[in-house]
Amino acid sequence: MKIVLCGAGFLGSNIATAISRANNSTRVLRRIQISSRCPHKVDAKLKETLPQDHLLPPIPVDVTKQETLTEAFDNADAVVSLVGILQGSLAQFEAVQWKGAENVARAAATVGAKLVHISAIGADPHSKIPYARTKALGEEAVLSHCPSATIIRPSLVFGPGDGLFNRFAQLSRYLPVLPVFGKGATRFQPVYVGDIGRLVEILTRDDLNPSTDVRGKVIEATGPDVLTLRQIMQLVVKHTGRFRPIVAVPWIIGELQGEIMQRLPTNIFTITRDQIEQLKIDNVATSPIPPSHVNFKEILEARSFRLTSVHDVLPHYLK
């Protein structure tokens, strides 16, 4: 049985679908919400997408309590962990992305399950940004308990239902201009959600080719296109047909906005001070590829898949 932890969201449901379509029994686990800003509910579309004879009833777990995980992982041969939050206090980031990830690794090791841990590009144990620092500390904790685990670090993930291009498209409905912080020069390498689903399905196979040594390795999951924030906004304008001027906003204004918005109820305009800081850092694959990493593109191409370009998919769902 394959377990997808926090598998009811955008990325998790696509991963669960990819695994289930490979004729594997799949169970989706819901993380008990830590705060009102981080709800994890089973999406009804998940039940429509996954083959019902492969989808086991989703069950709630608490990543802060290892015993709930060990019980839920019973009979699992592979666990895919998407444990993480985008907003919260330092204590919440540490509880979920660091200690929660560690509990998942301990539970997977206890039942002898293969572990695929979803992290993020930009994970850095020395970062002052809690999200990036706890992502890195979570990786270290995972590998300390499951040395054979595989770490996947996606860039921004796009696809139908995403929170990237769709969010900017929504903003274009309400704003007369589309703002970019700084000069909009920060670079991103968006990755198609379906490509990550294929990667995880490959990594969780019982018959994974031994020549693909991913044990204890990091895979930076990035797409073929490197785009600046301004170019991303230009694509939104192009494919929505809503012609909005793209206006550069000084970083200091963004920091002030983040300071205010993070104190208010979450809405489409919400951005935090830490997220503004993250926008100052390029979100692209490391070059050259370090020895501790495995090439994402080569894994897919070895199985006759090619990386999906933003330009191939975006026109079909953003219009």
Residue 7's domain comprises 2-159+190-224+284-308
Q: How many domains does the chain have?
A: 1
Q: Which of 104, 56, 50 is nearest to 82 (CA)?
A: 104
Does the residue 82 lie in any domain? yes
CB-based burial label for 123 (10 Å; 0-12, 13-18, 19+): buried
Does the residue 47 lie in any domain? yes
Q: What is the pLDDT of residue 23?
A: 63
Cα–Cα distance for residue pair 301/305, rounded to 1 Å: 5
- Cis (ω within 30 of 0) for the bond into 154? no
Q: Which of 43, 1, 39 is nearest to 22 (CA)?
A: 1
Q: What is the pLDDT of residues 237-284, one digit of tens each?
A: 999 999 999 999 999 999 999 999 999 888 888 899 999 999 999 999
Position 44 pLDDT exceeds 50: no
pLDDT band at 210 (very low <50, low <70, confident <90, very high): low
Does the residue 246 lie in any domain? no
Q: How many CA atoms lie within 13 A of 87 on its CB side?
A: 20
pLDDT band at 138 (very low <50, low <70, confident <90, very high): very high
Does the residue 251 lie in any domain? no
Does the residue 12 lie in any domain? yes
Does the residue 60 lie in any domain? yes
Does the residue 262 lie in any domain? no
Cα separations (Å) of 232 from 120, 174, 214, 316? Answer: 19, 18, 32, 16
Q: What pTM did the predictor assign?
A: 0.90
Q: How many residues does the chain have?
A: 319
Q: What is the pLDDT of residues 111-129, one digit of tens each?
A: 999 999 999 999 999 999 9
pLDDT band at 215 (very low <50, low <70, confident <90, very high): very high
Q: What is the pLDDT of residues 170-205, one digit of tens each?
A: 999 999 999 999 999 999 999 999 999 999 999 998
Position 135 pLDDT exceeds 70: yes
Q: How many CA atoms lie within 13 A of 41 on its CB side?
A: 7
Q: What is the pLDDT of residues 2-29, one digit of tens each?
A: 999 987 789 999 999 899 887 666 777 7
What is the rounded average pLDDT of the residues 284-307? 94
Does the residue 185 lie in any domain? no
Please state, rounded to an integer, the average pLDDT across all residues of the chain.
88
**Residue 29 is part of a domain; what is its CATH number?**
3.40.50.720
What is the rounded average pLDDT of the residues 39-59? 49
- Which sign, positive or negative, has the C-alpha torsion 210, 117, 224, 185? negative
